Structure 1
Amino acid sequence: MKYIVIGLGVFGSSISEKLAEMGNEVIGVDISMSKVDAIKEKITHAISLDATDPEAVKNLPLKDCDVVIVGIGEDKGANIMVAALMKQMKVKRLISRAVDPLQRTVLETMGIDEIIHPESETADRWAQRLNMEGIVDSFELDSNYSIVETRIPEAYHEKTIKELGIKEEFDILILTTMKVSNTRSEMGIDKEKMKVKGIAKADTVLHKDEIMVLYGHNKDIRRLLEEHKKFKEQV
């Protein structure tokens, strides 16, 4: 996977290093040369430029990038300007940092629905989530085992957990499932609301586009998600 992380403060540099350690290609961007120099040996590339400048941003390989992360924290105005610019340039996947509720509201109004809150969500957790494609959310129990949320694929629709044999084939437990519904905030922003359906059992029937919560070894979860990806590409 290829990532561009804009803003190399404590959070941006930390998530850049974690993603690079996981074998990803990571380009770090910051207006501060000292921050670029501090990380250039730890990631694929580190570039000093003003990401609020549309002409400067054209030098970044945005079309070849899978995920752009706007990690700017202190300067809220720059954060919003960069996020708007990335949205305008139609990057494949955009994730932005927010440090307070108002900033989050502004980003959501701009149509950015993947928002990081570093104060409550660690770089480790986001790196783990980003490193395994198909994850809605995750919680790393240790370096090997995680609990992750992922959307139920069409191949599992109206089949029971027993029928699918995920435990036998992948050594992964389905802990529960969640129903997803769309709600609208007071500002007219569409958001997803999840409702837990209870502890999953062998006769629990799965439904496409709902969420299943998995527990297992990271390598086994990654293997299962790769199967989901292959099926999706074949359809």
Structure 2
Amino acid sequence: MKYIVIGLGTFGSSISVKLAEMGNEVIGVDISMSKVDAIKEKITHAISLDATDPEAVKNLPLKDCDVVIVGIGEDKGANIMVAALMKQMKVKRLISRAVDPLQRTVLETMGIEEVIHPEKETADRWAQRLNMEGVVDSFELDSDYSIVETKVPEEYHEKTIKELNIKDNFDILILTTMNVSNFKNELGANKSETSVKGIARADTVLYKDEIMVLYGHNRDIRNLLEEHKNFKERM
């Protein structure tokens, strides 16, 4: 995977290094040359430029990038300007940082659905989530085991956990499932909210619009996610 991280403060630099350690190609961007120098040996490339300048941004390989992360925190105006510019340039996937509820609301109103709250969510958690396709959220227990939220695949729709036999096939436990409800925020932007349904049992029925919470070895979770990706491609 190829990532561009704009803003190399504490959060931006942490997630850049973590993603690079996972084997991804990471380009870090910051207007501060000292921040660029501090990280250049730890990631694929580090570039000093003003990401609020449309002409300067044209020098970035945005079309070849899978994910752009706007990690600017101290300057909320610059954060919103860069996020708007990335949205305008139609990057494949855009994730932006927010430091308060109002900023989050503004970003969501701009159509940015994935917003990071570094004060509540660690860089390690987001790196784990980004590194496995299909993951909604994750919590890394250690370097090998994680708890992961992922959408229920269509081929699991209206089947019980016992029928699917995921424990034997993938050595993974389904801990619970969650409903997803959609609503609009104060400015009319679409938002979603999840609610836990309780401990999953053998007779728990899965539905394609829900989220299932998995526990297992990172390798086994990745295998399960890859299986569903390949299933979709065969259809």
TM-score w.r.t. structure 2 length? 0.98
Structure 2, unmatched stretches of 5+, are none
Q: 2-side partners of 1:54 and 1:231: how far apart?
A: 40
Q: 1-side partners of 2:209 and 2:234: how far apart?
A: 18
- Deviation, 1:37, is 1.0
Structure 1, unmatched stretches of 5+, are none
Q: 2-side partners of 1:190 and 1:109: how far apart?
A: 8
1:204-232 Cα offsets, whole Å, 9 max, x none, are 11111210000111111111111111112
What is aligned with 2:137? 137
What is aligned with 2:51? 51
- Deviation, 1:78, is 0.5
Q: 2-side partners of 1:230 and 1:139: how far apart?
A: 25
- Deviation, 1:196, is 1.5
- Deviation, 1:156, is 0.7
Letter in 2 for 1:5: V
Report SS of the residue matched to 1:215.
strand
What is aligned with 2:221? 221
What is aligned with 2:107? 107
1:24-61 Cα offsets, whole Å, 9 max, x none, are 00000011111111111110011111100111111111
Seq. identity, %: 87
What is aligned with 1:3? 3
What is aligned with 1:154? 154
Report SS of the residue matched to 1:146.
strand
What is aligned with 2:40? 40
- Deviation, 1:165, is 1.1
Q: 1-side partners of 2:66 and 2:234: how far apart?
A: 20
What is aligned with 1:209? 209
What is aligned with 2:175? 175
What is aligned with 2:71? 71
- Deviation, 1:98, is 0.6
Kindly tell me the number of residue pairs found equivalent between the two proteins.
Answer: 235
- Deviation, 1:188, is 1.6
Q: 2-side partners of 1:52 and 1:231: how far apart?
A: 41
Report SS of the residue matched to 1:167.
helix
Q: 2-side partners of 1:178 and 1:130: how far apart?
A: 20
After the TM superposition, list the runs of 4 or more consecutive aligned residues in structure 1 that deviate by more than 4 angstroms: none
TM-score w.r.t. structure 1 length? 0.98
Q: 1-side partners of 2:177 and 2:80: how far apart?
A: 35
1:69-125 Cα offsets, whole Å, 9 max, x none, are 000011111000000000011111100001111111111110111111111111111
Report SS of the residue matched to 1:179.
strand
Q: Does the 8 Å contact 2:105/2:185 carry over to 1?
A: no
- Deviation, 1:185, is 2.3
What is aligned with 2:96? 96
Q: 2-side partners of 1:6 and 1:184: how far apart?
A: 28
